[in-house]
Amino acid sequence: EQFSICTTAKETAAGLVEGGFVFKEIRQHYPEWMDEIKIELEKKLSEKYGAEPMIAPMSAVINQAWK
């Protein structure tokens, strides 16, 4: 098993929210929720993987398709 080690859960939460695919939707529909979402995500990540450093198992989904 491989692990992802991040400096802090807070940095990870910010990266997921601000750099993830949902950022545009949050900003467009609920910009006032941005800080609250990051705080709640940081809390959940900290509880599950630790706050500093945050160590989480990595996983991958591999697909193959052909015509």
What gap in Å lies between CA 54 and CA 4, rounded to an integer?
A: 8
Note down pLDDT in tens along the chain; length 67 residues.
899 999 999 999 999 899 878 888 888 999 999 999 999 999 999 999 999 999 999 999 999 999 8
Does pTM top 0.85 for this prediction?
no
- Structure confidence at residue 35 (pLDDT): 94
Report CA 49 to chain centroid distance, whole Å: 12
**Integer Cα distance of 22 and 4 in angstroms:** 21
